[in-house]
Amino acid sequence: MTDLRQYIRDVPDFPKPGILFRDIMPLLASPQAMAQAIYAMAQGVPPGGIDQVVAIESRGFLFGVGIAQQLERGLVLLRKPGKLPGDIRRHQYALEYGNDSLEVQADAMRPGSRVLLVDDVLATGGTLAAAAQLVQDCGAEPVASTVLIELEALRGRERLDGMALHSVLRY
């Protein structure tokens, strides 16, 4: 198994001073590393399984497609505001460097379905916590989340209210 850390580039002071950005572009450029990352992330499925994969815009989409295919489950996309037609549910949340919102089509998740949340990085936990709340607002159950990278010093795991979290790389 390849060490996926060699495909993660550190970019200091991005998007603002004091932030160390973990750039996954080198990983995306390697078909082997990308396949290995998707496989490793898919191992985050809890006992009892899941019914749907929910990927968070935008880099979560890159992993969510492969995980959904591997698990043979449908994929739901949580988008930034203004990108989806129809009846929309929205949740606003705070990031470590600003505010944001996530939206989903109101009928995208079946009520009662067990959901696996997918994103690239867990930092402060605001995005995954917002995604979990949005899933609950749609009547589904966020049972687990999987990320490529967890930034442990930011303690984002603590904001997930006990939801199972699988992280492939921890920094």
Handedness of CA 136, 51, 36, 34 (dihedral sign): negative
Q: What does the angle CA 114 – CA 65 – CA 137 come to, to the nearest 5 degrees?
A: 35
pTM for this model (two decimals): 0.94
Q: Residues 89-144: pLDDT tens digits? A: 999 987 766 789 999 999 999 999 999 999 999 998 999 999 999 999 999 999 99
Kindly list the catalytic residues: 59, 96
Confidence of residue 74 (pLDDT cuts 50, 70, 90): very high
Cross-strand partners of 10: 22
Please report, for the chain, the start and end positions of each structural domain, with discontinuous segments joined by +.
45-170
So what CATH class is 45-170?
A: alpha beta
Buried b (16+ CB within 10 A) or exposed e, 139-162: ebbbbbbbbbbbbeebebbebbee
The mean predicted confidence, pLDDT, of the chain is 95
Is residue 168 within 8 A of residue 41, CB to CB? The reply is yes
